[in-house]
Amino acid sequence: MADAPEKARDPEKEKRKIKSVSKMKEIMTNYYIEAKTARDSGKKVAWITSGGPVEPLIAMDVIPVYPENHGAMIGASKMGVDLCEKAEEMGYSRDLCSYARADIASAATNGGPIGGLPEPDFLVCCNNICGTVLKWYEVAARYYNVPLFILDTPFVHREFSDAARDYVIRQIYEYIDFLEVQCGKKADFDRMQEVGKLSVESMRLWQAVLDVAAHKPAPMSAFDAFFHLALIVTLRGKPVVVDYYQGLLDEMNERIRDGIAMVPNEKYRLLWDNLPIWYKTKWLSEKFASHDACLVADTYTSAWSGVLPLIDENNFLETMSVAYTKIYINISIDLMIDKLREMIRKYDADGLVMHSNRSCKPYSLGQYDLQKMVMKELKIPTLIIEADMVDERQFSESQIDTRIDAFMETLKS
């Protein structure tokens, strides 16, 4: 959401607001209500990592819950510092991922914007995003005393070996076995296939939504992508996601037709790297807009659709497990640069803004090298912002303000 200022109803600003937003909020609210009342309706709740294969859960009628999405909500509602401090009192180092810290503290205190997540019946951890989730889910497994399934997706340094392929494919079937035991019923593979089709369809639509920002001026920005991301993460495989993204895509195409840009007078187009700084999205989008700059795309939100070409709808389970192993954050720097290059060209970006996110080592370590490669090869200016996605204590506003000004000056000259 670009978070246009609320004050007076400036028609100029009203025009730029994305209409679908309210529908999205409604879907997410309903989803959380359903999850929070799952016990009453006799449904199982599974916690799952954002990069994990959710489709089998949906096919088995399990309600997936995403601690990371919860972490983002905590960050956006500026409750991060308080919860992080509580986790630190519990003995968790301040240097650990703030999603994990905030979520662990929220579980222990029923704190945060929705009073804590619904308790899990079991946990599904896929380490394609990081090693942090393994440790975080072990903490949760001990805390709730529930079974933990680990889907281990070997990191792709230079190659993805046949052995790694066999390993993830074997695990996807172990995953199904695990679900059958947890749910006390057989998996319905036809249903799985259907859910897989819907998931692929949502990814396709999500990618199409992101692609609209290639248009000049961009009808939406990365900040809007951050907001609309929640659905592809949490509910892909459900029909409501397909409908929603179709509607959003239509709205975007309408905006293009009507010449509505997210940033009025868009002159500079920037690419964002890493997770959003959830408690500062509004400040950042206004800051860049004041320089006539629009963050048109980012490396983060496309993680859920970037592997689309690797998925075969007709062999969904197996190809999906391989595809999920090759997502942006699970590949080496020299493979990442290929993707960055592709995005910079596709969106015709004039500059790159990298969020060096203290919380997220797999995303952030290596950024300095990527930055050098981009400057050398693509000859565009780059900016590194040292911060954290949820822990506001790591954000120095005046310093970042000055750095953005300086960066924009280089860009303009």
Partner 1 sequence: MNPFDLFASVSRSPYAHARAEKKNDGKKRIGYFCSYAPEELVHAAGAIPFRLFGARRDIRAADAHLQSYCCSLVRGGLEDALQKELDFLDGAVFPHTCDSIQRLSDIWRLNAGFPIHFDVVMPVKLNTSSARQYMIDVLAKFRKDLEESLQVSISDDAIVESIRLYNRIRDRLEKLYLIRSGNPESLPPSAMNMVMKSAMIMDRAVFLEALEQLLETLSNTKAQSGGSKRKRILISGGICNHPDIYDVLAEAGGDVVWDDLCTGYRYAGGRIDESADPIEAIADRYLTRMACPAKHLSNTARGEHLLEAVREQKIEGVVFLLLKFCDPHAFDYPYLKQFLDDKGIPNILVEVEEQPAPEGQLRTRFETFVDML
Instruction: Point out which residues bind partner 1 (CB under 8 A).
Output: 90-93, 95-97, 100, 127, 130-132, 134-136, 138-139, 141-142, 148, 150, 152, 154-155, 157-158, 161, 163-164, 166-167, 170-171, 174, 332-334, 356, 358, 361-362, 364-369, 386
Do residues 202 and 237 make contact, with C-beta atoms less than 8 angstroms apart? Answer: yes
- The upper half-sphere exposure of residue 389, i.e. CA atoms within 13 Å in the direction of its Cβ, equals 27
Q: Measuring CA to CA, which residue among 394, 369, 389 is closest to residue 99? A: 389
Q: How far is the CB of 33 from ligand SF4 (least distance, A)?
A: 25
Q: How far is the CB of 144 from partner 1 (least distance, A)?
A: 11
Q: Which stretch binds ligand SF4 (CB under 6 A): 124-132, 227-235, 295-303, 365-373?
A: 124-132
Can you give the C-alpha Rg of the chain in angstroms?
Answer: 21
Among 84, 124, 129, 212, binds ligand SF4 (CB under 6 A): 129
Q: Which residues pair with 272 in a beta bridge?
A: 298, 353
The backbone torsions φ and ψ at residue 273, rounded to the nearest 5 degrees and listed phi first, read -120, 140
Write the Ramachandran bin of 239: left for phi over 0, alpha for psi from -120 to 50, otherwise beta: alpha
Element (H, E) at 149: strand 148-151
Q: How far is the CB of 63 from partner 1 (least distance, A)?
A: 23
Instruction: Indicate which of ligand SF4, partner 1, none lies near residue 99 (CB less than 5 to 8 Å, by partner kind).
Output: ligand SF4
Q: Does 331 bind ligand SF4 (CB under 6 A)?
A: no
Q: Does 408 bind ligand SF4 (CB under 6 A)?
A: no
78-94: burial string, b at 16+ Cβ within 10 Å, e else? ebbbbbbbbbeeeebee
Instruction: Identify residues 346-365 at the interface with ligand SF4 (CB under 6 A).
Output: 359-360, 363
Do residues 132 and 100 make contact, with C-beta atoms less than 8 angstroms apart? Answer: yes
Q: Does 121 bind ligand SF4 (CB under 6 A)?
A: no
Q: How far is the CB of 359 from ligand SF4 (least distance, A)?
A: 5
Residues in contact with ligand SF4, counted by CB under 6 A, come to a total of: 11
What is the maximal distance between C-alpha atoms in the chain? 65
Q: How far is the CB of 197 from partner 1 (least distance, A)?
A: 27
Q: What distance in Å separates the CA atoms of residue 409 and residue 112, rounded to the nearest whole number?
A: 39
Element (H, E) at 272: strand 268-273
Instruction: Identify residues 248-307 at the interface with ligand SF4 (CB under 6 A).
Output: 275
Q: Which stretch binds ligand SF4 (CB under 6 A): 130-138, 296-304, 341-349, 370-378?
A: 130-138
C-alpha angle with apex 225: 222 to 230, nearest 5 degrees? 145
Instruction: Indicate which of ligand SF4, partner 1, none lies near residue 332 (CB less than 5 to 8 Å, by partner kind).
Output: partner 1
Q: What distance in Å separates the CA atoms of residue 220 and residue 305, rounded to the nearest whole number?
A: 18
Q: Does 160 bind ligand SF4 (CB under 6 A)?
A: no
Among 35, 59, 60, 130, binds ligand SF4 (CB under 6 A): 130
Write the Ramachandran bin of 381: left for phi over 0, alpha for psi from -120 to 50, otherwise beta: beta
Do residues 151 and 127 make contact, with C-beta atoms less than 8 angstroms apart? Answer: yes
Among 18, 31, 56, 68, binds ligand SF4 (CB under 6 A): 68
Do residues 238 and 244 make contact, with C-beta atoms less than 8 angstroms apart? Answer: no
Task: Give the residue with the Cβ less far from partner 1, 274 or 285.
Answer: 274
Q: Does 213 bind ligand SF4 (CB under 6 A)?
A: no
Build a one-symbol-per-residue string for 71-110: x at contacts with ligand SF4 by CB under 6 A, - elsewhere: --------------------------x-x-----------
Among 132, 202, 321, 371, binds ligand SF4 (CB under 6 A): 132
Q: How far is the CB of 135 from partner 1 (least distance, A)?
A: 3
The backbone torsions φ and ψ at residue 150, rounded to the nearest 5 degrees and listed phi first, read -110, 120
In the block, residue with structure tokens 């805390």: 143
Instruction: Indicate which of ligand SF4, partner 1, none lies near residue 285 (CB less than 5 to 8 Å, by partner kind).
Output: none
Instruction: Indicate which of partner 1, ligand SF4, none lies near residue 161 (CB less than 5 to 8 Å, by partner kind).
Output: partner 1
Give the type of residue at 346: K
Residue 359 DSSP class = T
Q: Measuring CA to CA, which residue among 59, 78, 129, 112 is closest to residue 330? A: 129
Q: Measuring CA to CA, which residue among 231, 202, 224, 313 is closest to residue 17? A: 224
Q: How far is the CB of 181 from partner 1 (least distance, A)?
A: 14
Instruction: Indicate which of partner 1, ligand SF4, none lies near residue 21 (CB less than 5 to 8 Å, by partner kind).
Output: none
Residues near ligand SF4 (CB under 6 A): 68, 97, 99, 129-130, 132-133, 275, 359-360, 363
